[in-house]
Amino acid sequence: MRRILVAGNWKMNASRAQTDTLITGLRNAGELTCDLAVFPPFPYLSQAISVAEGSQISVGAQNCAEADSGAFTGEVSAEMLSDLGASMVIIGHSERRILYGETDGVVLRKTRKALDNGLIAVVCVGETLEERQGGKAEEVVGAQMSLLISELTDADWKNVVIAYEPVWAIGTGETATPEQAQAIHAFIRGLLTERSADLAAATRLLYGGSVKAANAAELFSQQDIDGGLVGGASLDVDEFLGICRA
């Protein structure tokens, strides 16, 4: 049975005070029936880990480098994240792919670094509006999944979560219908099944695209949707908890 995971990607938002308020608010909510994770910006990562210590809240980073160390000004390695106490990392978010040119090869290399350092890799895939309107959603997502499926081992996949995020529904207020989201999640599950039925059954697939408390229950009730990668709504404790309780 795959346990629901609700993950909050804060993106380039928050402050020291907000970090304390957000995580304390989640801690004070009591026991939740889903797994819960937050991904603050790098400057607040250590603080978030400290405030979340001893709770059910996992803390991860929003990105990691392809390299272990060296002359890479501004980069943060997976080894550093692990050393700090992070347990997860988001890789290949659409904003990284679009704004910073991250390719599927880069995503694979970063995923391997994360796994090599004991982190759970939350790997993002998804199509743009133009690609969806052109009937290429499955083609695009399939290509993004291809290297991961062919290159990662079964042992690797135990620590991989896939987040499907239709790029056209991120920060726009638009949301894929539950049926649209389920269709792509089922497609991804099918790709994994071709590799291994057991692997497919165990891998959690998250939906990311303007998830809110109002639509979370309907989205999460779909057969192949195992939670959400939440953006803006994760910066509001009550809204985020509403998603968790859904």
Residues with catalytic annotation? 93, 165
Q: How far apart are CA 92 and CA 88, in angstroms?
A: 13
Neighbours of 60 (CB within 10 A): 26
Please count the helices (runs of H) and the strands (runs of E) in the chain. 12, 8
Q: How far apart are CA 52 and CA 135, in angstroms?
A: 43
Distances 145 to 72, 195, 203 between C-alpha atoms, Å: 27, 12, 13
- How many angstroms from the chain centroid is the CA of residue 175? 17
Helix (H) or strand (E) segment spanning residue 5: strand 5-9
> Could you tell me if 210 and 175 are in contact, meaning their C-beta atoms sit under 8 angstroms apart?
yes
Structure tokens at 107: 């995503």
Distances 122 to 87, 174, 207 between C-alpha atoms, Å: 11, 22, 12
Which is it for the CA torsion 227, 232, 237, 242, positive or negative?
Answer: negative
Q: How far apart are CA 41 and CA 38, in angstroms?
A: 10
The structure tokens 């001893």 sit at: 54
